[in-house]
Amino acid sequence: MALVRIIDLVVRVIRYLATPEARFLRAGLVTVAVCGALVGAAGVIWLLAQLPALLGTVPAGQ
């Protein structure tokens, strides 16, 4: 029963986001998603750069 209520809530939110009144909310959600993707990508790049130190190995060029 809880799953049905969650699905119903998701459907209502999607229907609301489709209305013209929700254009600023959609813009905000897109902004948050893009910024989150950029921060996540920077975090992955940073983690990959730290990987040799975390594994205790030194790159071949040094």
Q: Which two tokens stand for residue 48?
A: 């990959």
Q: Would you say residue 4 has pLDDT above 80?
A: yes
Q: pLDDT tens digit string along 11-53?
A: 999 999 999 999 999 999 999 999 999 999 999 999 999 988 8
Q: Is residue 60 situated within a structural domain?
A: no
Range of the domain at 8: 2-53
Q: Is residue 6 situated within a structural domain?
A: yes
Spatial neighbors of 58 by CB under 8 A, at least 6 apart, are 52
> Could you give the C-alpha distances from 58 to 43, 44, 45, 51, 55, in angstroms and in order?
21, 19, 18, 10, 9
Q: Is residue 62 situated within a structural domain?
A: no
Amino acid at 39: V
The domain total for the chain is: 1
pTM over 0.85: no
